[in-house]
């Protein structure tokens, strides 16, 4: 359950980053928003990989 909450938080962070980048007036805010988005997406991919690895290690029939 904790992974789902963390994944949801990272999705919200990624969307917030995209919003910040789209409304940016300077390069720093654009870069910060894109980094938030990148971080959120990468963490979600990492969580998916962890879940797949756990499932392969402990298959339930």
Residue 61 covered by a domain: no
Report yes or no on 58 lying in a domain. Answer: no
The residue assigned the tokens 């963390």 is 6
Domain count across the chain? 1
CB 32 within 8 A of CB 50: no
* pLDDT value, residue 43: 92
Classify residue 59: in a domain, yes or no.
Answer: no
Could you tell me the two tokens for 61?
A: 């029939």
**pLDDT score for 53:** 72
Domain that holds residue 16: 2-53
pLDDT at residue 1, rounded to an integer: 64
Q: How are the residues of the chain apportioned to helix, strand and coil, as percentages rounded to the nearest 5?
A: 85, 0, 15
43 is a domain residue: yes
Q: What is the pLDDT of residue 54?
A: 67
Whole-prediction pTM value? Answer: 0.76
Residue environment code for 3-32, b if the CB has 16+ CB neighbours within 10 A, otherwise e: eeeebeebeebbeebeebbeeeeeeeeeee
Give domain status of residue 60, yes or no.
no
Q: pLDDT (tens digit, 0 to 9) for every residue of the chain, 61 residues total?
A: 688 898 899 999 999 999 999 999 999 999 999 999 999 999 999 988 887 776 666 766 5
């Amino acid at each position: 359950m904790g992974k789902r909450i963390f994944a949801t938080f990272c999705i919200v962070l990624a969307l917030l980053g995209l919003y910040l980048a789209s409304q940016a007036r300077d390069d720093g805010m654009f870069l910060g928003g894109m980094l938030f988005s990148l971080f959120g997406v990468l963490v979600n991919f990492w969580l998916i990989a962890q879940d797949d690895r756990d499932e392969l290690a402990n298959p339930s029939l």
